[in-house]
Structure 1
Amino acid sequence: MRNQHEDRDPRFRIARREAWIGVGLVLFNFLWWFGFAYGLGSSPAEEYRYIFGMPAWFFYSCALGSIVMMILVFVMVKVFFREVPLDEEEESS
């Protein structure tokens, strides 16, 4: 349900696209975390492998997952996000 202002202002289209990119990143982060946490962490604790003193499931889901997400967010912002003016005055000029 769009209002009349959204159709005339390209900033809304840009903001909508960037919001969908954010939603995609959140879904990817959840799938990464869930896959490693429950995939590797579903075995008995005696069978866990350890990386840097952490269970492998925790290392991959939380430690490595955080690093991967930081890199992905950085790349997405640098490549796909655009700076848009927020002042109404700049829009009309």
Structure 2
Amino acid sequence: MEETDWRFKIAHREAWIGVGLALFNFVWWFGFAYGLGSRPVEEYSYIFGLPDWFFYSCVLGFLVISVLVIVIVKFFFIEVPFDEEEDSR
């Protein structure tokens, strides 16, 4: 039986990290959008002219997930060669 290429292990790990980031982004967005956004409109607070639920879910959420993606790609992802040469690892 042929041994699985080491690059698949890295690809699977990085794919699961991507799934985790996507789930975190969704939970962040959903929590703020429906958590704060389910109040009556008269009770909304505003940040920079935007309702607080929108600011936290969309604006701040975008900034947080962008920083997380940059940090994770920089420190946790590994550059993998695409050539077919046999590398021993």
Measured against the shorter chain, the TM-score band is: over 0.9
Aligned-pair CA distance for 1:92: 4.7
CA distance in 2 between counterparts of 1:58 and 1:75 reads 25
The residue that corresponds to 2:23 in the other structure is: 27
Q: 1:82 aligns with which of 60, 78, 81?
A: 78
Of 22-31 and 7-16, more deviation after overlay is shown by 7-16
Amino acid at match of 1:9: D
Bigger share in helix = 1
The residue that corresponds to 2:66 in the other structure is: 70
Gaps of 5+ in 2: none
Aligned-pair CA distance for 1:8: 2.9
Aligned-pair CA distance for 1:54: 0.1
CA distance in 1 between counterparts of 2:15 and 2:32 reads 26
Gaps of 5+ in 1: none
SS at the partner of 1:71? helix
Q: TM-score, normalised by structure 1?
A: 0.89
Q: 1:39 aligns with which of 10, 20, 35?
A: 35
- Cα RMSD between the aligned structures? 1.4
CA distance in 2 between counterparts of 1:31 and 1:57 reads 14
Runs ≥4 residues deviating over 6 A? none
Q: How many residues align?
A: 88
Q: TM-score, normalised by structure 2?
A: 0.93
